[in-house]
């Protein structure tokens, strides 16, 4: 009987610790490199891939509170001129629509499960010197957050996987 009780208690303790590890939500859990799984936007009831199918991206949070984030469509056009300063209007438009990057500092609010990007600079200059708050969930090696006012309109949902 004591053996069963001991086994039951041990199972509960291990189960509780495992569940806590799977849903950790602290600032320390952000630190590291993350690779893009998906970036979707919903606007007017229509859902689409923000940067196209199979988009690529990387997000890095350091322990000192700095971050850098990039998103890229895999279908970005090559510049016919082979000079990024002399792209055509169509090439430039496709690059702007198919990529986004910004960097700055971040903070995590563990109480309301949100984090805030304090954007120093972005390829979307309207975000320069702004604060971008994101509700988030970390489950295991997955970080998921939403952007209530995405840079191209609508509400974005972004999912990252911790890089190994």
pLDDT by residue (tens digit) across 55-95? 999 999 999 999 999 999 999 999 999 999 999 999 999 99
d(CA 122, CA 128): 6
Within a domain: 14:
no
d(CA 17, CA 75): 43
Average pLDDT of the residues in 103-129: 96
Exposure of 72 in the CB half-sphere (CA atoms within 13 A):
10
Q: Could you give the dihedral angle defined by the CA atoms of residues 29, 107, 120 and 126, in that order, rounded to the nearest 10 degrees?
A: 100
What total of structural domains would you count in the chain?
1
d(CA 2, CA 153): 61
Within a domain: 2:
no
Token match 């990252």: residue?
Answer: 160
Within a domain: 15:
no
The boundaries of the domain holding residue 38 are 26-162
Between strands 131-139 and 142-147, the pairing is antiparallel
Residue 5: the pLDDT is 40
Within a domain: 122:
yes
Residue 116: the pLDDT is 96
> 119 or 152: whose pLDDT is higher?
119
**Secondary structure letter of residue 91 according to DSSP:** H
Within a domain: 107:
yes
Within a domain: 20:
no
pLDDT tens digits, residue range 13-62? 434 333 333 444 778 899 999 999 999 998 888 898 889 989 999 999 99
Average pLDDT of the residues in 90-109: 95
Within a domain: 6:
no
Q: How confident is residue 9, by pLDDT bands cut at 50, 70 and 90? A: very low
Within a domain: 120:
yes
Q: How confident is residue 157, by pLDDT bands cut at 50, 70 and 90? A: very high
In a 3-state reduction of DSSP, which class is residue 130? coil
CATH, residue 58: 2.40.128.280
């Amino acid at each position: 009987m004591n053996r069963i009780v001991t086994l039951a208690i041990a199972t509960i303790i291990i189960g509780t610790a495992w569940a806590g590890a799977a849903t950790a939500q602290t600032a320390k859990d952000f630190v590291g490199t993350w690779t893009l799984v998906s970036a979707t936007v919903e606007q007017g009831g229509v859902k689409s891939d923000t940067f196209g199918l199979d988009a690529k991206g990387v997000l890095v949070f350091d322990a000192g509170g700095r971050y850098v984030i990039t998103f890229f469509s895999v279908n970005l056009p090559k510049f016919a001129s082979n000079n990024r300063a002399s792209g055509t209007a169509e090439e430039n438009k496709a690059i702007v629509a198919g990529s986004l990057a910004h960097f700055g500092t971040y903070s995590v609010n563990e109480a309301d499960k949100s984090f805030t990007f304090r954007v120093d600079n972005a390829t979307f200059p309207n975000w320069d010197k702004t604060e971008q708050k994101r509700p988030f969930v970390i489950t295991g090696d997955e970080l998921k957050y939403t952007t209530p006012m995405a840079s191209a309109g609508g509400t974005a949902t972004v999912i990252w996987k911790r890089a190994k």
